[in-house]
Amino acid sequence: MELVNKILEAPKPVNKKQLRSFLGLVGYYRQFIPNFAAISVPLTDMTKKDEPNELVWTEAKNHAFEILKRHISKPPILKLPNFEQEFVLQTDASNDGIGAFYYKRN
């Protein structure tokens, strides 16, 4: 929960270094955020070499920043399954590995 709180309390970055730090922090959870790449495009575009170091925020960029923070703070928040309750397990497999997550069914 400490990492989640750090993300929620993160101020809007003012330069590329701070933005890269935020994206790295949120990126730790990227596999649990549907459409992470699509949501983060306005932010990752600001880290490109030809973009200025001092960030210029637009409504789309601010929206992406807030959406990523919101995804981290709402269920499903990562935790171990409770086998005493019913839950749904979703999996995805390839030739190289398997990924899974579960969520409590309401």
Report pLDDT digits (tens) over 18-37.
999 999 988 888 888 888 99
Please state, in angstroms and rounded to a whole number, the distance separating the CA atoms of residues 84 and 102: 14
**Structural domain contains residue 106:** no
Beta bridge partners of 104: 87
Assigned token pair, 39: 């949501």
Helix (H/G/I), strand (E/B), else coil: 98 = strand
Q: Which of 41-45, 53-57, 80-84 has the lowest mean pLDDT?
A: 80-84
Polymer length in residues for the chain: 106
- Note whether residue 89 is domain-resident: no
Q: Is residue 19 part of a domain?
A: yes
83 lies in a domain? Answer: no
Identity (one letter) of the amino acid at 72?
I
How many structural domains does the chain have?
1
Q: What is the CATH number of the domain that holds 54?
A: 3.30.70
Q: To the nearest 10°, report the CA torsion of 61, 63, 65, 68.
A: -140
Tell me, yes or no, whether 38 lies in a domain.
yes
Question: Do the domain assignments include residue 92?
Answer: no
Q: What angle do CA 72, 18, 38 make, to 5 degrees?
A: 50
Residue 12: per-residue pLDDT: 94
Residue 43 lies in a domain: yes
Domain-embedded: residue 35: yes
Provide the pLDDT for residue 79: 65
Range of the domain at 13: 2-73
67 contact partners, CB below 8 Å, separation of at least 6: 39
